[in-house]
């Protein structure tokens, strides 16, 4: 079973206390797709500009990614983001955000992409997320992600999207920002109350919290000793999660908990290297080994 996914493809500059990586491959869709394609094929919906290096396209072509929905906007510049992490990685500041080709992007899904049962609405302008959702024929399972920038600027569109998604992903700070609640569990319940079937709040090294109308389950993170660059943690988590569900072709509660462990395992590899490096050499076997470690150390708390 394949996934259709929309999000950003970016050239990122990432600053940490260890140094600066300039113009590296990034974007929410990139991290998602590299992670999800370990488990299932992905139909990509995004836009790039003239400056997008051919070697990145080669990386995409080497994976089970369908690129018919990847638009090349001639004469335009690829989306760029520059983020800086605090020395302890606890906070991230966006220093620059250039939408570039995304400013005029109107996604038009190829027929094959419209027909897929799994849909990922990655972190991108919620108007574009709604536009992609509207073009899907009958998606069986929709996961959507967002970030503080869009909660601040396009809150109403996010609220409109909520009843249409099965799983809404966001981090603890974003959950507080969206609901104005300080307690993450209260915030998660409020988002479920607003219409999403379930909400997963990512709490970094403290794991994640799954909220459904039946209650809340806390799930673990795999704590890495060599945290190097948290960029893409959330998107690679989403990729591991939805990739696993698409491969299993079911999304009952038990499978969803397994999918969360797969997301946690994939993102732990992502954050150990700079940019997408931690995902490019990753195999399914590495992920399964880490899922087993998580399982043996943990009983979900409901």
Residues that bind ligand AMP (CB under 6 A): 8, 10, 12, 26-28, 81, 97, 123-124, 147, 149, 231-235
Residue 145 CB, nearest distance to ligand AMP (Å)? Answer: 8
> Among positive and negative, which fits the CA dihedral 131, 134, 137, 142?
positive
CB 266 within 8 A of CB 35: yes
Decide whether 26 or 278 has the Cβ nearer to ligand AMP.
Answer: 26
Decide whether 139 or 234 has the Cβ nearer to ligand AMP.
Answer: 234
Could you list the beta-strand ranges (E) of the chain. 3-6, 10-16, 19-26, 42-48, 65-66, 70-72, 79-85, 92-98, 118-121, 141-145, 167-171, 198-202, 208-212, 215-219
- Greatest CA span in the chain, whole angstroms? 53
Decide whether 62 or 97 has the Cβ nearer to ligand AMP.
Answer: 97
Name the residue whose CB lies closest to ligand AMP: 26
Residue 268 CB, nearest distance to ligand AMP (Å)? Answer: 13
Decide whether 165 or 233 has the Cβ nearer to ligand AMP.
Answer: 233
- Give the Cα separation of 239 and 244 in Å (integer): 8
**198 bridge partner residues:** 167
Q: Which positions ≥6 away from 54 have C-beta within 8 Å? A: none
State the DSSP code for 301: B
Decide whether 153 or 284 has the Cβ nearer to ligand AMP.
Answer: 153
Q: How far is CA 238 from the centre of its chain?
A: 4
Residue 295 CB, nearest distance to ligand AMP (Å)? Answer: 24
Residue 115 CB, nearest distance to ligand AMP (Å)? Answer: 26
Residue 214 CB, nearest distance to ligand AMP (Å)? Answer: 28
Decide whether 4 or 236 has the Cβ nearer to ligand AMP.
Answer: 236
Residue 24 CB, nearest distance to ligand AMP (Å)? Answer: 9
């Amino acid at each position: 079973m394949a996934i259709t996914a929309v999000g950003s493809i970016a050239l990122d500059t990432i600053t940490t206390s260890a140094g600066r990586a300039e113009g590296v491959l990034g974007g929410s869709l990139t991290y998602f797709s590299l992670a999800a394609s370990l488990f299932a094929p992905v139909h990509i919906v995004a836009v790039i500009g003239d400056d997008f290096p051919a070697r990145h396209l080669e990386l995409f072509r080497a994976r089970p990614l369908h690129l018919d929905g990847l638009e090349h906007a001639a004469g335009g510049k690829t989306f760029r983001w520059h983020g800086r992490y605090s020395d302890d990685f606890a906070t991230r500041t966006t220093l620059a955000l250039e939408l570039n080709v995304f400013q005029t992007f109107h996604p038009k899904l190829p027929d094959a992409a419209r027909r897929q049962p799994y849909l990922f609405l990655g972190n991108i302008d919620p108007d574009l997320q709604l536009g992609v959702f509207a073009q899907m024929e009958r998606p069986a399972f929709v996961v959507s992600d967002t970030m503080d920038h869009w909660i601040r600027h396009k809150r109403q569109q996010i609220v409109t999207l909520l009843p249409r998604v099965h799983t809404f992903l966001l981090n603890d700070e974003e959950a507080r920002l969206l609901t104005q609640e300080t307690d993450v569990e209260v915030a998660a319940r409020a988002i479920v109350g607003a219409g999403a079937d379930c909400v997963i709040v990512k709490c970094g090294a403290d794991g994640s919290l799954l909220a459904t109308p039946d209650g809340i389950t806390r799930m673990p993170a795999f704590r890495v000793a060599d945290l190097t660059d948290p960029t893409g943690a959330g998107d690679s988590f989403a990729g591991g999660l939805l990739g696993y569900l698409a491969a299993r072709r079911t999304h009952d509660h038990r499978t969803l908990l397994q999918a969360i462990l797969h997301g946690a395992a994939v993102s732990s590899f992502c954050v150990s290297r700079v940019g997408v490096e931690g995902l490019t050499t990753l195999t399914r076997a590495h992920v399964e080994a880490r899922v087993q470690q998580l399982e043996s150390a943990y009983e979900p708390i409901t």
